[in-house]
Amino acid sequence: MSSIHPDIARILITQEEIAVRTAELGRQISDDYAGEEIMLVCILKGAFVFMADLARAIECPVQTVFIAVSSYGNSTQSSGVVRILTDLDKPIDGRNVLIVEDIVDTGLTLSYIAGLLRDRHPKSLRICALSNKPQCRKKEVQIDYCGFVLPDEFVVGFGLDFKDFYRNLPYIGILKSELYRKPEC
Protein backbone atom coordinates (compact mmCIF):
# COMPACT_ATOMS: atom_id res chain seq x y z
CA MET A 1 0.00 0.00 0.00
CA SER A 2 2.05 2.98 -1.16
CA SER A 3 -0.44 5.90 -1.04
CA ILE A 4 -1.98 7.42 2.07
CA HIS A 5 -5.56 6.33 2.87
CA PRO A 6 -8.08 9.15 2.22
CA ASP A 7 -9.35 8.99 5.84
CA ILE A 8 -5.87 9.60 7.27
CA ALA A 9 -4.88 13.18 8.09
CA ARG A 10 -1.21 12.43 8.60
CA ILE A 11 1.11 9.46 8.93
CA LEU A 12 2.75 9.50 12.37
CA ILE A 13 4.90 6.38 12.19
CA THR A 14 5.89 4.82 8.90
CA GLN A 15 6.01 1.13 8.09
CA GLU A 16 9.81 1.33 7.97
CA GLU A 17 10.05 3.00 11.39
CA ILE A 18 7.81 0.32 12.89
CA ALA A 19 9.94 -2.43 11.37
CA VAL A 20 13.18 -0.94 12.72
CA ARG A 21 11.76 -0.41 16.22
CA THR A 22 10.19 -3.87 16.33
CA ALA A 23 13.55 -5.44 15.46
CA GLU A 24 15.17 -3.40 18.28
CA LEU A 25 12.54 -4.51 20.77
CA GLY A 26 12.98 -8.12 19.65
CA ARG A 27 16.72 -7.92 20.27
CA GLN A 28 16.24 -6.32 23.69
CA ILE A 29 13.66 -8.92 24.72
CA SER A 30 15.88 -11.76 23.44
CA ASP A 31 18.78 -10.43 25.55
CA ASP A 32 16.66 -9.91 28.66
CA TYR A 33 15.15 -13.40 28.52
CA ALA A 34 18.26 -15.22 27.23
CA GLY A 35 18.06 -18.92 28.13
CA GLU A 36 14.36 -18.64 29.07
CA GLU A 37 11.07 -19.41 27.38
CA ILE A 38 8.50 -16.65 26.91
CA MET A 39 4.74 -16.88 26.72
CA LEU A 40 3.51 -13.99 24.57
CA VAL A 41 -0.01 -12.91 25.46
CA CYS A 42 -1.56 -11.02 22.55
CA ILE A 43 -4.38 -8.67 23.46
CA LEU A 44 -6.89 -8.97 20.65
CA LYS A 45 -7.78 -7.59 18.44
CA GLY A 46 -5.44 -4.63 18.13
CA ALA A 47 -2.11 -6.29 18.96
CA PHE A 48 -2.24 -9.10 16.42
CA VAL A 49 -0.32 -7.26 13.69
CA PHE A 50 2.47 -6.08 16.01
CA MET A 51 2.66 -9.44 17.77
CA ALA A 52 3.17 -11.30 14.49
CA ASP A 53 6.25 -9.19 13.76
CA LEU A 54 7.51 -9.06 17.35
CA ALA A 55 7.31 -12.84 17.79
CA ARG A 56 9.51 -13.30 14.72
CA ALA A 57 12.02 -10.75 16.03
CA ILE A 58 12.53 -12.70 19.28
CA GLU A 59 15.15 -15.44 19.34
CA CYS A 60 14.07 -17.19 22.57
CA PRO A 61 11.56 -20.04 22.40
CA VAL A 62 8.09 -18.41 22.47
CA GLN A 63 4.58 -19.69 22.91
CA THR A 64 1.71 -17.51 21.76
CA VAL A 65 -1.65 -17.18 23.46
CA PHE A 66 -4.48 -14.77 22.87
CA ILE A 67 -6.94 -12.92 25.04
CA ALA A 68 -9.80 -10.92 23.55
CA VAL A 69 -11.08 -7.92 25.43
CA SER A 70 -13.44 -5.12 24.66
CA SER A 71 -13.27 -1.71 26.27
CA TYR A 72 -14.15 0.83 23.57
CA GLY A 73 -16.96 -0.72 21.53
CA ASN A 74 -17.59 1.61 18.61
CA SER A 75 -16.37 4.66 20.46
CA THR A 76 -13.02 6.47 20.53
CA GLN A 77 -13.08 6.79 24.30
CA SER A 78 -12.39 4.04 26.82
CA SER A 79 -15.50 3.06 28.73
CA GLY A 80 -13.31 1.97 31.63
CA VAL A 81 -15.24 -1.28 31.70
CA VAL A 82 -13.09 -4.12 30.41
CA ARG A 83 -14.88 -7.27 29.29
CA ILE A 84 -13.02 -10.53 28.63
CA LEU A 85 -14.52 -11.86 25.41
CA THR A 86 -12.18 -14.87 25.01
CA ASP A 87 -9.81 -16.04 27.74
CA LEU A 88 -6.37 -17.66 27.34
CA ASP A 89 -6.42 -21.30 26.29
CA LYS A 90 -3.41 -22.25 28.45
CA PRO A 91 -2.45 -21.85 32.10
CA ILE A 92 0.31 -19.30 32.71
CA ASP A 93 1.47 -20.27 36.21
CA GLY A 94 5.25 -20.49 36.43
CA ARG A 95 5.71 -18.98 32.94
CA ASN A 96 7.49 -15.82 31.80
CA VAL A 97 4.48 -13.90 30.54
CA LEU A 98 4.96 -10.95 28.21
CA ILE A 99 1.75 -9.07 27.45
CA VAL A 100 1.72 -7.59 23.96
CA GLU A 101 -0.54 -4.58 23.46
CA ASP A 102 -1.11 -2.17 20.59
CA ILE A 103 -1.55 1.08 22.51
CA VAL A 104 -1.79 2.26 26.10
CA ASP A 105 -4.07 5.27 26.55
CA THR A 106 -5.91 5.59 29.87
CA GLY A 107 -4.16 2.43 31.11
CA LEU A 108 -7.46 0.96 32.27
CA THR A 109 -7.37 -2.03 29.91
CA LEU A 110 -3.80 -3.05 30.67
CA SER A 111 -4.00 -2.55 34.41
CA TYR A 112 -7.09 -4.77 34.49
CA ILE A 113 -5.50 -7.49 32.35
CA ALA A 114 -2.17 -7.33 34.20
CA GLY A 115 -4.01 -7.74 37.51
CA LEU A 116 -6.00 -10.66 36.15
CA LEU A 117 -2.87 -12.44 34.88
CA ARG A 118 -0.84 -11.67 38.01
CA ASP A 119 -3.46 -13.54 40.04
CA ARG A 120 -2.64 -16.64 37.97
CA HIS A 121 0.92 -16.73 39.39
CA PRO A 122 3.23 -16.38 36.37
CA LYS A 123 6.99 -16.61 37.03
CA SER A 124 7.32 -13.09 35.65
CA LEU A 125 4.97 -10.60 34.05
CA ARG A 126 6.05 -7.79 31.74
CA ILE A 127 4.38 -5.56 29.19
CA CYS A 128 5.39 -4.71 25.63
CA ALA A 129 3.32 -2.01 23.92
CA LEU A 130 3.72 -0.85 20.34
CA SER A 131 2.67 2.65 21.36
CA ASN A 132 1.95 4.77 24.38
CA LYS A 133 -0.26 7.88 24.71
CA PRO A 134 0.65 9.05 28.23
CA GLN A 135 -1.45 12.27 28.27
CA CYS A 136 -4.75 10.64 29.24
CA ARG A 137 -3.50 8.13 31.78
CA LYS A 138 -6.00 7.24 34.51
CA LYS A 139 -4.22 4.14 35.87
CA GLU A 140 -0.45 3.89 36.04
CA VAL A 141 0.98 0.87 34.25
CA GLN A 142 4.62 -0.03 33.90
CA ILE A 143 5.43 -0.52 30.24
CA ASP A 144 8.65 -2.55 30.15
CA TYR A 145 9.09 -2.36 26.37
CA CYS A 146 7.59 0.56 24.46
CA GLY A 147 7.69 1.09 20.72
CA PHE A 148 6.66 4.73 20.33
CA VAL A 149 5.33 7.56 22.47
CA LEU A 150 2.46 9.25 20.61
CA PRO A 151 0.69 12.59 20.99
CA ASP A 152 -2.90 12.70 22.23
CA GLU A 153 -4.51 11.94 18.86
CA PHE A 154 -6.81 9.15 17.80
CA VAL A 155 -4.65 6.93 15.62
CA VAL A 156 -5.35 3.94 13.41
CA GLY A 157 -3.36 1.43 11.43
CA PHE A 158 -0.96 -1.43 12.16
CA GLY A 159 -3.69 -3.22 14.13
CA LEU A 160 -5.28 -0.09 15.60
CA ASP A 161 -8.87 0.42 14.53
CA PHE A 162 -11.87 2.68 14.46
CA LYS A 163 -15.11 0.66 14.29
CA ASP A 164 -12.94 -2.33 13.37
CA PHE A 165 -11.61 -0.67 10.20
CA TYR A 166 -8.10 0.51 9.28
CA ARG A 167 -6.26 -2.31 11.09
CA ASN A 168 -4.65 -3.31 7.79
CA LEU A 169 -2.94 0.03 7.16
CA PRO A 170 0.82 -0.66 7.26
CA TYR A 171 1.56 2.58 9.16
CA ILE A 172 0.17 4.42 12.21
CA GLY A 173 -1.73 7.53 11.16
CA ILE A 174 -4.02 10.16 12.64
CA LEU A 175 -7.65 9.62 11.66
CA LYS A 176 -9.25 12.70 10.09
CA SER A 177 -11.09 14.56 12.84
CA GLU A 178 -14.33 14.92 10.84
CA LEU A 179 -14.77 11.13 11.05
CA TYR A 180 -15.21 11.02 14.83
CA ARG A 181 -15.72 13.18 17.92
CA LYS A 182 -12.47 13.69 19.82
CA PRO A 183 -12.95 12.57 23.44
CA GLU A 184 -11.93 14.62 26.46
CA CYS A 185 -9.24 13.05 28.62
Q: What positions carry a catalytic annotation?
A: 105
Quote the CA–CA distance of 52 and 29 in Å, as a whole number: 15
Which H/E stretch holds residue 128?
strand 124-132
Q: How far is the CB of 71 from ligand IMP (least distance, A)?
A: 5
Helix orientation angle between 48-57 and 15-32, rounded to the nearest 10 degrees: 50
Query: Pattern 154-183, binding to ligand IMP, x per CB under 6 A?
Result: xxx---xx----------------------
How deeply is 89 buried, as exposed, middle or buried, from its count of CB atoms within 10 A (0-12, 13-18, 19+)?
Answer: exposed
Angstrom distance (rounded) from CA 142 to CA 126: 8
Kindly indicate which of the ranges 51-59, 91-99, 107-115, 118-126 contains the residues binding ligand IMP, using the contact rule CB under 6 A.
107-115
Q: Which of 33, 43, 76, 37 is nearest to 162 (CA)?
A: 76
Q: Among the candidate windows 13-21, 33-41, 106-114, 116-124, which touches ligand IMP by CB under 6 A?
A: 106-114
Contact 66, 42 (CB under 8 A): yes
Out of 78, 96, 158, 173, the only residue in the binding site for ligand IMP (CB under 6 A) is 78
Determine, following the binding rule CB under 6 A, whether residue 13 of this chain makes contact with ligand IMP: no
In the list 108, 127, 130, 169, the residue contacting ligand IMP (rule: CB under 6 A) is 108
CA distance 103 to 149: 9
Nearer to ligand IMP, 33 or 111 (CB): 111
Find the binder of ligand IMP among 46, 122, 147, 173 (CB under 6 A). 46
Instruction: Please identify which residue in 104, 114, 130, 169 interacts with ligand IMP, judged by CB under 6 A.
Output: 104
